[in-house]
Amino acid sequence: MLGHVRDMNLAALPSVEKLSQRLAQQSQLPKSLVTGFIKRQLSPFRERLMAGEELTREEIESGITDALETFESSRLQPVLNGTGILIHTNLGRAPLGHRAAQAVYDVATNYCNLEIDLTTGKRGKRGAFLEEALAILVDAEAATVVNNCAASLVLTLRALIAEGKNEVIVSRGELVEIGGGFRIPDILETSGAKLVEVGATNKTHLRDYEQAITDRTALILKVHRSNFFLGGFTGEPELEELFDLAKTHHIPLVEDLGSGALMNTDQLAPIEHEPRPQEQLGKGIELVLFSGDKLLGGPQAGIIAGRADLVEKIKREPFYRAVRPDKMILTALQEVVIDYLTIKDDPTRIDLVPVLQMLNESPEDLRRKAADLQQRISEPSEIVETTGATGGGTMPKSQFPSVAVRTAKKPDLPHLFTRVEDDQHHIDPRTLRQPERE
Ligand SMILES: *Cc1c(COP(=O)(O)O)cnc(C)c1O
């Protein structure tokens, strides 16, 4: 009897074949994917029916249809960033310039000289061009690249600590959480380093560092406060002083810079000065670590630059093999580095790197683009003064004036992200990309 009721219940289950036939037609996905998805969705419904829950076929079909829509929309695809936040981690951080993206396309769809020396036809060094160009760009003895800045920190720590010499000195004012669970103390632990905290949250003196140095000290680590700021009664030693101290004790001085602005971004927009790798290296930091896809405006990558012997040691660490980037990332970053060097020769070429171009946008251009945008949306709207930000855990204090199209209802543009303030949608044309804004 019970079995009979259960079977009657199960009769509400739709036919996989029929449902996938219908849903595959409505979606852009291969039918096999739709069928597989439906099958996986059906099993919890089957269990609920078996448990005696009353569900109609319509309910089940509409539940699966909605789930498929959500699944399909989770496919990675372009969206419109109208938030005015340049490096939005949830929106994929920095967009790549067209020239660099085209180079990736060419390398990806062909064979390439990844580890071949084209002049001799013999085995060559992977990333050799990029490493040389990067070193020239940031004025460092040497440079190398890994998958992201977090990996560059783990790798650097692993390479520079040793048995019985694994203490890493960090100021208490720099024990930051970057986001996504990335906390400096945890990173140190994963790397096998022993954290030696010095100073207080607001103030760390040179003597705090000095007193913490022992013969087990592997390095002094500075972490740039990239996503928060410290104000009031604060203080820390000058980098030059810290460098002298580290040098006297033959201890490397390493800085995790995070965002790594390669240009004086404060000259492009009215924002705070973000320390550049070349600047920090000039002050005596021996190794700087920074991201490829924050203010640099390239692909996701972590860059390590500085003293040649240290970079060499890092590349010899076995873990390097686990975090080295692939040919597409190497190509993208290589081309962005070339773009920077081109801009150095000719500042009018700033359009090559979207992040720089967007930062540099003039109020007149923004107003013109806002007016164009107004023409393209049907909702009643007005142009208002607003503020933009770099975002993505960079320059938390820096908000710069911008312009936005304000509407009460979100305009019907595909996958548009707006900034909602006072229940009104604000669309900043600064971060809308071509060709959408043309
Ligand atoms: C963002 C950031 C990181 C992490 O960089 P990813 O490239 O996202 O791994 C590390 N350190 C600092 C200081 C940062 O700001």
Our CA angle for 386, 389, 394, nearest 5°, is 165
Say whether both 292 and 384 belong to one domain. Answer: no
Q: How far is the CA of 304 from the centre of ligand 1 (A)?
A: 12
Say whether both 44 and 170 belong to one domain. Answer: no
Say whether both 153 and 290 belong to one domain. Answer: yes
Q: How far is the CA of 342 from the centre of ligand 1 (A)?
A: 26
Portion of the chain with pLDDT greater than 70, in percent: 97
Residue 304, token pair as written in the block: 């390590």
Q: pLDDT of 210-248, one tens digit each? A: 999 999 999 999 999 888 788 888 999 999 999 999 999
Please list every protein residue whose CB sits less than 6 Å from any atom of ligand 1: 148-150, 178, 182, 223-224, 226-227, 256, 258-259, 291, 302, 393
Please report which helix (H) or strand (E) contains residue 178, including its range: strand 177-179
Q: Is the pLDDT of residue 270 over 90?
A: no
Residue nearest to atom 1 of ligand 1 (CA): 258
Q: Give the pLDDT score at 434.
A: 66
Residues 6+ apart with CB under 8 A from 110: none
Say whether both 338 and 420 belong to one domain. Answer: no
Q: Which of 294, 295, 304, 390 to mutate to test the pocket of ligand 1 (most atoms within 8 A of CB)?
A: 294
Q: Is the pLDDT of residue 417 over 70?
A: yes
Q: What is the mean pLDDT of residues 67-91?
A: 96
Q: Are strands 419-421 and 167-171 parallel, antiparallel or unpaired?
A: unpaired
Say whether both 6 and 128 belong to one domain. Answer: no
Domain boundary among 285, 320, 351: 351
Say whether both 393 and 338 belong to one domain. Answer: no
Cβ neighbours, 10 Å, residue 401: 12
Cis ω for the linkage preceding 44 (within 30 of 0): no
Say whether both 398 and 293 belong to one domain. Answer: no
Please report which helix (H) or strand (E) contains residue 143, including its range: strand 142-146
Say whether both 402 and 280 belong to one domain. Answer: no
Domain boundary among 351, 379, 407: 351
Q: How far apart are CA 53 and CA 372, in angstroms?
A: 54
Residues 6+ apart with CB under 8 A from 55: 9, 12, 45, 48, 49
Residues 6+ apart with CB under 8 A from 101: 332
Q: How far is the CA of 16 from the centre of ligand 1 (A)?
A: 45
Question: Are 424 and 410 spatial neighbours (Cβ–Cβ below 8 Å)?
Answer: no
Phi then psi for 117, rounded to 5 degrees?
-90, 110
Q: How far apart are CA 325 and CA 329, in angstroms?
A: 6
Say whether both 62 and 207 belong to one domain. Answer: no
CATH of the domain at 163: 3.40.640.10
**The model's pTM:** 0.94
Q: Can you tell me which atom of ligand 1 is nearest the CA of 152?
A: 9
Question: Are 221 and 169 spatial neighbours (Cβ–Cβ below 8 Å)?
Answer: yes
Domain boundary among 351, 367, 384: 351
Q: How far is the CA of 48 from the centre of ligand 1 (A)?
A: 44
Say whether both 16 and 125 belong to one domain. Answer: no
Q: What is the mean pLDDT of residues 327-342?
A: 98
Say whether both 394 and 333 belong to one domain. Answer: no
> Is 81 buried (19+), middle (13-18) or exposed (0-12) by CB count in 10 A?
buried
Q: Give the pLDDT score at 5.
A: 58
Higher pLDDT, 352 or 269: 352
**How many domains does one find in the chain?**
3
Q: What is the mean pLDDT of residues 50-61?
A: 93
Q: What is the domain range of residue 390?
A: 80-91+356-437
Q: pLDDT of 282-331, one tens digit each? A: 999 999 999 999 999 999 999 999 999 999 999 999 999 999 999 999 99
Say whether both 122 and 220 belong to one domain. Answer: yes
